């Protein structure tokens, strides 16, 4: 795997311990061009960066060394971790994003991503359940890497988690309401177990967390409304997570 260097000055100068690296966070660049994105990620006044950037042709650029904290996650939460910069590796994928014309990620881009992730997962022993998108950890502010991100394909390659249910089985439960409060409560508990940080008390966080969950696991309908399809997916994921150490 060839990695090109184009270092960004936007990182904490203090080295972190290898053991603190526990999470991988995916982003899209969300800008008009690759050049513009790199410029921003390397501009000291932007105060943003990531460890890696992968362009549309699959070229991998290293911007911050893994041993340093890059500034990509912002205010965020996953499982027991808060403000994930210190615990994570950030990977940016070049894509114009929802604002400038969101397109599918390129095959070459995803194949480089898989190679890179396999290496990182092995090196830092990153748990499957800690491979997330920016929207998963900051649902109030972020929607990247978005619903076109190939989560299922990545999971087939042992990167991240996915559920066992067949799409035809699940479809029948789409838009079917959850009837009991007990199930609603269980859904929230399951999402917390998967890693999402939220409670039902904060209404807008609740709505946006369900959207983030859908963007990741049920991209066909992202409406922020809990239905039985979402319920079944969350239940299956929770079961799988409990089996993984």
Active site residues: 92
Q: How far is it, in rounded angstroms, from Cα 1 to Cα 59?
A: 10
Q: How far apart are the two ends of the chain, measured CA to CA in Å?
A: 29
CA dihedral 141, 77, 89, 16 (to 10 degrees): 130
Number of residues that bind Zn ion (CB under 5 A): 3
Q: How far is the CB of 245 from Zn ion (least distance, A)?
A: 29
Stretch that binds Zn ion, among 35-43, 44-52, 137-145, 192-200 (CB under 5 A): 137-145
The pair phi, psi for residue 28, each rounded to 5°, is -110, 160
Stretch that binds Zn ion, among 60-68, 130-138, 150-158, 170-178 (CB under 5 A): 130-138
**Under rule CB under 5 A, residue 215 binds Zn ion:** no
Query: Based on CB atoms, which residue is closest to Zn ion, 22 or 27?
Result: 27
Q: What is the DSSP letter of 141?
A: T
Among 27, 129, 208, 218, binds Zn ion (CB under 5 A): 27
Q: What is the DSSP letter of 57?
A: T
Stretch that binds Zn ion, among 55-63, 123-131, 132-140, 167-175 (CB under 5 A): 132-140
Among 29, 54, 144, 229, binds Zn ion (CB under 5 A): 144
With beta carbons less than 8 A apart as the criterion, state whether 135 and 144 touch: yes
Which residues of the shown chain bind Zn ion in the complex (CB under 5 A)?
27, 134, 144
């Amino acid at each position: 795997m060839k990695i090109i260097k184009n270092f960004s000055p936007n990182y904490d100068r203090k080295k972190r311990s290898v053991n603190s690296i526990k999470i991988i966070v995916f982003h899209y660049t969300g800008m008009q061009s690759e050049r513009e994105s790199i410029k921003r990620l390397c501009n000291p006044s932007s105060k943003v960066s990531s460890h890696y950037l992968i362009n549309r042709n699959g070229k991998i650029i290293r911007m911050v060394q893994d041993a340093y904290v890059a500034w990509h996650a912002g205010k965020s939460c996953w499982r027991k971790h808060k403000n994930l910069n210190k615990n994570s590796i950030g990977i940016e994928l070049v894509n114009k994003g929802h604002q400038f014309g969101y397109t599918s990620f390129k095959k070459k881009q995803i194949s480089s991503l898989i190679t890179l992730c396999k290496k990182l997962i092995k090196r830092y022993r990153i748990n499957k359940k800690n491979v997330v998108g920016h929207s998963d950890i900051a649902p109030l502010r972020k929607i990247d890497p978005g619903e076109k991100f190939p989560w299922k394909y990545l999971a087939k390659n042992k990167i991240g988690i996915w559920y066992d249910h067949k799409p035809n089985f699940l479809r029948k439960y789409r838009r079917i309401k959850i009837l009991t409060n007990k199930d609603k409560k269980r859904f929230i508990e399951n999402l917390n177990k998967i890693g999402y940080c939220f409670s039902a008390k904060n209404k807008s966080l609740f709505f946006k967390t369900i959207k983030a969950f859908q963007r990741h696991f049920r991209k066909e309908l992202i409406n922020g409304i809990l239905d039985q399809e979402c319920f079944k997916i969350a239940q299956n994921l929770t079961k799988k997570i409990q089996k993984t150490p």
